[in-house]
Amino acid sequence: MMRISYWVFPILAGVIWLGTLLGLLLFWVVDDHKIHYASEADSQSIAYISDVGASRLKPLFITGCVLTTLFLDISFGADRWLRHKGRLVPNTTTGEKVLSGLTIVFAIVGTAGLVLLSIFDTLRYPRLHDVFLLLFIAGYVLSAIFICWEYQRLGIRYREHRVLRISFWIKLSFVVIEILLAIAFVACTFTGNYNPGAVFEWIIAFIFSFYVFSFYVDLYPAVHTKNGATHGGYRTSAAAKSRYDANRRQQSPHQQQQDVDMEEGFSASDRNLTTSTNSTPTHHHHHYGAAAATTSPARGVPNNF
């Protein structure tokens, strides 16, 4: 029996979202010849996504939003399930599990916002539409922040898995860019600069598709861990935990404390201020050399995330 791989879900979500956006944009430009919709302001010449979505293409808009969020939420759930089952590097601390849970909760908030804004269109329900639009943006941005935080902690714990760092930087870039664009979008829209606001909205929407596609990077490694198999450095939870514990036993107490500090979000330099009276510079230099010897030089993985 053929089984669908988990990485397919974010690809489906991204393709559907891109298809929806391109369908709306091309319809406005080619079919409607950039007409002025009833929901647009008098001074506005560039249609918002919501303006086009409130027209004859409202069924397409609603369908695209529902299917995009459905497959994206399945991707969030798959990531959590695969980590729980050990097919991806697992969440082994309470903090990581809490961050994973908050990621899913705020993704659901973003889902509700996107689906509801497509139903309550800007022509007939302008106030509700604006509320749901802000809910959509805030929900997915907060969800991205929490998953970045989770991956940062996982990257410290499992340094040999470079995909965690790659995914972390992709999602962090999304968070920073989308926050800046969202500020510009809100400022333009609520000060009556509708044309720049419409441009920012289209840009935000297209960038969101790349965030959706980024979950392919997270889920694809599970292809190599079916039935407890290992491949290319990916291990089941028991094997990964065993490797982590073995590395910790070989580290000096000073290096172990550094790892704890980074995992808990504290600065290692603050810890050194309180312990400097018990250690000499020569002693510290020796430990750093010993710790470096226990990492994997063949992979060239740096000590810091």
User: Tens place of pLDDT for every residue, the chain, 305 residues?
Assistant: 456 788 899 999 999 999 999 999 999 999 888 898 998 988 899 999 999 999 999 999 999 999 999 999 999 988 888 888 888 888 778 888 899 899 999 999 999 999 999 999 999 999 999 999 999 999 999 999 999 888 888 877 777 777 888 888 888 999 999 999 999 999 998 898 999 999 999 999 999 999 999 999 888 888 766 655 544 444 444 454 555 555 556 656 666 565 555 545 434 444 444 444 444 444 444 333 333 333 433 334 343 33
Whether the CB-CB separation of 70 and 16 falls below 8 Å is answered with no
Domain parsing of the chain, residue ranges: 8-228, 251-294
Give the pLDDT score at 252.
Answer: 61
Beta bridge partners of 234: 231
Give the pLDDT score at 157.
Answer: 75
234 three-class SS:
strand
Those residues with Cβ within 8 angstroms of residue 99's Cβ, 6 or more apart along the chain or in another chain: 146, 147, 149, 150, 153
Q: What's the CA gap between 155 and 218, in Å, rounded?
A: 13
Give the pLDDT score at 287.
Answer: 38
Residue tagged 């944009």 (tokens): 25
Whether the CB-CB separation of 169 and 21 falls below 8 Å is answered with no
Give the pLDDT score at 67.
Answer: 96
Give the pLDDT score at 98.
Answer: 92
Whether the CB-CB separation of 116 and 65 falls below 8 Å is answered with no
